[in-house]
Amino acid sequence: MTGLTLVAGAGGFIGGQLTRDLVEDGVAVRAVDCKPLDRWFFRSDGSQNLSLDLREIGACREATKGVEQVYNLAADMGGMGFIEYNKAVCMLSVLINTHLLIASRDNGVSRFFFASSACVYPDYLQRDADIPGLKESDTYPAMPEDGYGWEKLFSERMCRHFREDFGIATRIGRYHNVYGPFGTWDGGREKAPAAISRKVAMAVITGRHDIEIWGDGEQTRSFMFIDDCLKGTKLLMASDFVDPLNIGSDEMVSINQLVDIVEGIAQIKLKRTYKLDAPKGVRGRNSDNTLIRKVFDWAPSISLKAGMEKTYRWIYDQVKARAEGRSYVAAYD
């Protein structure tokens, strides 16, 4: 049993469900997000819930007071469309991690988890759709995703040096495309699994059997279901492993194949049109899970079909409720 644990970014998709899991595990949690409490995606009654802007050093000092360990999942981010058009905004998240590390050092925090991203990997390794998995050692020479990826890579280095210089046990998980229920599904910040689920749900509800796909649909990705993300995060936080570690599925699919899966769940076939000038990111991206298997004898394993079944059903319910003027989970970051 640990002492008080801070979850930063607890009003968001991953942070909200991590808070829920930790509370269920019997952990005392202080949950913090910059959004007002009534706009959190998922709020746990068993946690201490605070609305604080962690870009400010004073807020970070308040948030980390009396805390033993920190999970930093707070960032201003979204899907590829948001990342492509908001590079400076994404980079400003460096204030959150920097100020949280300073406050953690000053307030005696012993352990600190940073949620990094596969966007730290070099662009020059991701120009083909049929890409081998990205290994942790592939990071340098550096050429990460512009804006968001550079912020994540810089913050990884900051965590490393706070471990080396100040003795905070920092842990770094590189997330690969986390998806699932209780996440952003509309409004511009949603990622591909949620966006496609929303589009298919709207086609079912409206009877207009067509779908727009960004790019040619042949770009590839791997997608990790939220439950695998939470398990990998907690395993890494509790471990002695100090280097950045992939936390992602290695089940790579094209966007067209992802649409196939959701169409199969919804039992519908849609006419596809392709928006070739839309933001589409790198051509191919997948996780190499050799190292995480070696460290934990475990890797994310929930199949995309099983995870998308749950995700689509939840998003369909939200889309239908909105169309009928009923209460639904708001689609904000």
Active site residue 148: yes
Section 96-107 average pLDDT: 98
Write down the catalytic residue from 71, 148, 175, 179: 148
Rounded to the nearest 10 degrees, how much is the dihedral formed by the CA atoms of 90, 232, 43, 4?
-100
CATH superfamily of the 5-178+225-247 domain: NAD(P)-binding Rossmann-like Domain (3.40.50.720)
Written as six digits, the tokens of 294 are: 């070696």
pLDDT (0 to 100) of residue 280: 86
pLDDT (0 to 100) of residue 313: 98
Which CATH code is given to the segment(s) 184-222+251-287+303-323? 3.90.25.10
pLDDT (0 to 100) of residue 333: 45
The domain locations on the chain are: 5-178+225-247, 184-222+251-287+303-323
Written as six digits, the tokens of 33 are: 């997000």
The answer to whether the predicted template modeling score (pTM) of the entire model surpasses 0.85 is yes
Section 183-201 average pLDDT: 94
Section 65-85 average pLDDT: 91
pLDDT at 201 over 80: yes
Cβ pair 114, 70 in contact under 8 A:
no
118-153: pLDDT as tens digits: 999 999 999 999 999 999 999 999 999 999 999 999
Predicted confidence band at 41 (pLDDT cuts at 50, 70, 90)? confident
Cβ pair 142, 84 in contact under 8 A:
no
Sort 52 into a burial class: Cβ within 10 Å, 0-12 / 13-18 / 19+: middle
pLDDT (0 to 100) of residue 82: 87
Mean pLDDT of the chain: 96
